[in-house]
Amino acid sequence: MTQHAEPTHHVPENLPGTIQHFIDGEFVDSVSGRTFDVLDPVSNETYVTAAAGQREDIDLAVAAATRAFKEGPWPRMKPRERARVLNRIADAVEAQDARLAELETFDTGLPITQALGQAQRAAENFRFFADLIVAQSDDAYKVPGSQLNYVNRKPIGVAGLITPWNTPFMLESWKLAPALASGCTVVLKPAEFTPLSASLWAGIFRDAGLPDGVFNLVNGLGEEAGDALVKHPDVPLISFTGESRTGQIIFANAAPFLKGLSMELGGKSPAVVFADADLEAAIDSTLFGVFSLNGERCTAGSRILVERAIYDEFCERYAERAKNIVVGDPHDPKTEVGALVHPEHHEKVMSYVELGKQEGRLLAGGGRPEGLPTGNYVAPTVFADVAPDARIFQEEIFGPVVAITPFDTDEEALELANGVRYGLAAYIWTSDLTRAHTFAQSVEAGMVWLNSHNVRDLRTPFGGVKASGLGHEGGYRSIDFYTDQQAVHITLGAVHTARFGATVHQPEEAAEAAEDAGDA
């Protein structure tokens, strides 16, 4: 039986009465005065109203960011100067990580211990890119005695950043840090379900010395504020993390402007467990990989493919562990799965749970945990014997629900792993080194973990293939996205160019030449 922490409703002290936009260094309401309600996921009651941005609010934010880019000091600072500001931002995030985690947990339903880790990762993102821009080098080539070629890197301009509601503060830092490090100015549109932690960036940035207008924040719905940001002609870059269908809409709306796009989209990632795997480690990892962060993670290994020889044992042990996961009050340090972010999302996840009861064999969970009559809680749910054409095998659920499917051969495992529209991550468990690398290089995924769970070096590329994304971020690839790489060529020696039009013929000479040609 799924354990549960005692139902409580922790409300942080000093919550804001309203959440405003932040434009050109000032907190402001929407021009129209419109607002929307924000719920906490344990009570599902409104705890704050937020300014609902419209096109006119996006226009003001983009205008401020454009002025700061064209006239302000930020893009023209030396890398070391920008790095100092980024490190002060990291210091501020680290200094208040407990408060950030408390607010993030209250707003999202994430377990407090996991929210604390995300706050600390946000600080590391800023520190990483502070180091990177100081250490960065660019290409230079010399053709001896002839030419010198070098790359002049320049920030592109105003970056539009659209972020999701799962681990929002950390994912905002993931975009803000490289954009600011590169010298861009930004307009951030956070997810409407979770605007609380995003509102803290303004004070952090101001105290760290970021000039006014460099960071702008507009809250609102995706189809209003987000749509206006994507369609704004003065925003050359859009970085988006979210659902694949929304990514398709953004792709279409950005096309007339030929905007730069970086999109990290949905996933239905396979975890492939071969019979020769370290079974204990594989069970630990595959449990954590789908049930951490409430299952609301793009890289969740939500399809577990298990070799037939160990299939029954794996399913039995996996289900027993899933039943022991502690579900409950997100602020309780013992909680391992908290409340899903919003009642709309809870309803969606529960619809897949009911569907799964027809498509697979229910081994654990399957409904609301006992002792938690209210709030967006879903018991960790395990389905076995799931066919590859089942919807719970094919479609992203984004919750604490997993499908387990057997396979007999390496070829079948690869076919199953690649048999969905997504291609974000994959996890491979085997002690055969040749198989591990061969399978990893054949699987259709932007990222592969061999005998490990989702631990990522910030220097490596992050992104997916197929319906899971467009482009890559992380390390220098993030700097590449936010900058133009201008090639400059200088001739060092004598110029050797074909001299078109250099020979001048008189009219009579041309006539004589024509006569001679006729005689010939």
Task: Indicate the burial class of 411 (C-beta count within 10 angstroms; 0-12, 13-18, 19 or more).
Answer: exposed
Q: Check 264, 336, 396, 444 and give the catalytic one.
A: 264
Q: Is 298 a catalytic residue?
A: yes
DSSP E strand boundaries for 365-424: 381-384, 401-407
**Sheet harboring 401-407: ordered strands across?**
361-364, 381-384, 401-407, 303-307, 270-273, 425-429, 447-450
Q: Any bridge partners for residue 486, and if so which?
A: 152
Of 358, 360, 354, residue with least CA distance to 319: 360
φ and ψ at 26, to 5 degrees? Answer: -135, 145
Pairing between β-strand 483-491 and β-strand 158-162 as defined by DSSP bridges? unpaired
Angle at which helices 433-442 and 410-417 pack, to 10 degrees? 30
Tokens 């990290």 belong to 264
Q: Which of 104, 296, 298, 473 is catalytic?
A: 298
Q: Please say whether the dihedral angle defined by the alpha carbons of residues 237, 243, 248 and 250, taken in this order, is positive or negative.
A: negative
322 φ/ψ angles, rounded to the nearest 5 degrees: -60, -35
> CA 187 to CA 64: how far, in whole Å?
9
Among 268, 107, 227, which Cα is nearest to 172's? 107
Cα end-to-end span (Å), the chain: 104
What lies within 8 Å, CB to CB, of 308 at 6+ separation is 406, 407, 408
Give the H or E element holding residue 324: none
For residue 470 the two structure tokens come to: 């467009």
Is the Cβ–Cβ distance between 51 and 30 less than 8 Å? Answer: yes
- Residue 86 CA to residue 93 CA, distance in Å, equals 11
Question: In the structure encoding, which two tokens stand for residue 304, read together?
Answer: 């577990």
Structure tokens at 512: 């004589």
Smallest CA-to-CA distance from 318 within 351, 354, 281, 355 is with: 281
Burial call 191-223: b when 16+ CB within 10 Å, e when fewer: bbbbbbbbbbbbebbeebebbbbbbbbbbbbbe
Q: How many CB atoms lie within 10 A of CB 275?
A: 16
Dihedral of alpha carbons 108, 110, 112, 117, sign? negative
Which residues are annotated as catalytic? 264, 298
